[in-house]
Amino acid sequence: MTPAMTTAQDRVLPGTCKVLLARATELVPLLREHAEAGERDRRLTEDVVDALRRAGMFRLTAPRRCGGYEVDVRTYLDVCAEIARGDGSAGWVVMLMNTGAYLVAQLPDRARDDVYGTGRDAAVCGQLTPTATARAVDGGYVVSGRWAWASGSHWAQWSLVSIPLPDDLRAALVPTAELTLEDTWFAAGMSGTASNTFVAEDVFVPEHRTFSLPGFLQGVTRSEHADEPLYRTGTYPLFLEHAAPMLGLARAAFEHVLDTVHRGKPIAYSVYQRSFDAPSYRLALADAAALIDTATLHTHRSADALDAAARDRAPLDALTRARVRSDIAVAATRCREAVSLLLDVGGAASFARDDPLQRIWRDLEVITRHGLVNVNLSREIYARALLGIGEQVTPLF
């Protein structure tokens, strides 16, 4: 074990979760200041990345043994949401780097040491779409392929990619220095995430840096430690985490519009010199706040269910698993509805290029259509579970 590692007895001190949330809050002004530059350059600014790294935002879900915080799911979501309140792209990158840390924790200590042995702030991104070829060789696999939309690609020292085999689909951990990065990320929203394409040409991946994705979906882990409850929650934090940037963006939109209203914005072509005085605008703000509250409550319900199951070593039953997917869909829908109301209050001026509300709106529209959110599919999953239909429409369940 290298000096960068900590012992199993080193636990996060009481109050650390509050400290991490406070750190995220302190970053919000910086994130907002740099959000426009991040969108323009299609990557977060280096000032933002350095600040996130110094605040420990890339190791929220990393094992404590490796210098990470190994926070529970509820804390993880709340911190990511707070980062997204400052900038949606930054919230997304923090979320995806912690997806990588969570997946590295499924691997044996030898692989963990490869990642964290030279420093606890190593970042891991990835894309698990099976767009590659691989062949087994002595001690591992030789991999070639292309993996698009690898968020955080510019700042990760490691990448998790998927490799299809005749009898398995495996996740493979590869140093990004052994991959070529193609600049392919041009999108209407989430522009600052640098979700570019990794390319591998006959890269060797040792066996200890891989794990079976179908096995992982069934709760199998290669971790050598039984005292890490976070990693007993399987794939479900990786679904639910997508709600966090949605919440942060919706809250940012609400704060922005509330400030605009308080500053005395008039309603054009009306008697209202201050939109603050219009009952319809007041009600729209109240409805938007309630919708964001609803999204938050659904997200927290699922996070608490995952944390309880991990503590109790109790696998989630089929109905609860389906409800997690439903809660994500509800959060996405309610956040979109809230921001739509807020755009109505903000008016056409909200779509000016120098108004952050239009960027928040575009970011949210992109996030809520991610494949692991898929509102309609999630509703179908929940309906099948409620009706007792055993066969589901996706293996990601």
Q: pLDDT-derived band of residue 14, with 50, 70 and 90 as boundaries?
A: low
Q: pLDDT-derived band of residue 11, with 50, 70 and 90 as boundaries?
A: very low
Q: Residues 177-193: pLDDT tens digits?
A: 999 999 999 999 999 99
Percent of the chain scoring above 90 in pLDDT? 87
Mean pLDDT confidence for 360-380: 96
Q: Give SS3 for 208.
A: helix
Domain ranges for the chain, please list them.
16-116, 124-226, 236-386
State the Cα–Cα distance between residues 94 and 388, nearest whole angstrom.
37
Mean pLDDT confidence for 129-150: 95
Q: What distance, in Å, lies between the first and last C-alpha atoms of the chain?
A: 36
pLDDT at residue 6 greater than cutoff 90: no
Q: Could you confirm whether domain 16-116 is CATH 3.80.30.20?
A: no
**Per the structure block, which two tokens stand in for 108?**
């044996």
Name the amino acid, one letter, at 328. I
- pLDDT at residue number 232: 84
Comparing 33-42, 223-232, 356-365, which segment has the lowest mean pLDDT? 223-232
State the Cα–Cα distance between residues 134 and 206, nearest whole angstrom.
12
- pLDDT at residue number 31: 98
Mean pLDDT confidence for 90-114: 97
Mean pLDDT confidence for 148-167: 94
Taking CA atoms, 316 is separated from 173, 296, 301, 391, in Å, by 28, 21, 14, 17
Q: What backbone torsions phi and psi does residue 88 show, to the nearest 5 degrees?
A: -60, -40
State the Cα–Cα distance between residues 299 and 364, nearest whole angstrom.
16
- pLDDT at residue number 152: 94
Q: Residues 271-314: pLDDT tens digits?
A: 999 998 999 999 999 999 999 999 999 999 999 999 999 989 88
- pLDDT at residue number 277: 93
Comparing 71-80, 90-99, 119-128, 378-387, which segment has the lowest mean pLDDT? 119-128
CATH number given to 236-386: 1.20.140.10
**Per the structure block, which two tokens stand in for 176?**
């990004």
Mean pLDDT confidence for 44-57: 97
Percent of the chain scoring above 70 in pLDDT? 96
pLDDT at residue 5 greater than cutoff 80: no
Taking CA atoms, 44 is separated from 127, 151, 190, 246, in Å, by 19, 11, 10, 18
State the Cα–Cα distance between residues 169 and 156, nearest whole angstrom.
23
- pLDDT at residue number 219: 85
> Around Cβ 5, how many Cβ atoms within 10 Å?
19
Q: pLDDT-derived band of residue 213, with 50, 70 and 90 as boundaries?
A: very high
Q: pLDDT-derived band of residue 2, with 50, 70 and 90 as boundaries?
A: very low
H/E segment holding residue 25:
helix 16-41
Mean pLDDT of all residues belonging to the chain: 93
State the Cα–Cα distance between residues 37 and 24, nearest whole angstrom.
20
Fold assignment, 124-226: Butyryl-CoA Dehydrogenase, subunit A; domain 2 (2.40.110)
Comparing 6-10, 104-108, 141-145, 268-272, which segment has the lowest mean pLDDT? 6-10
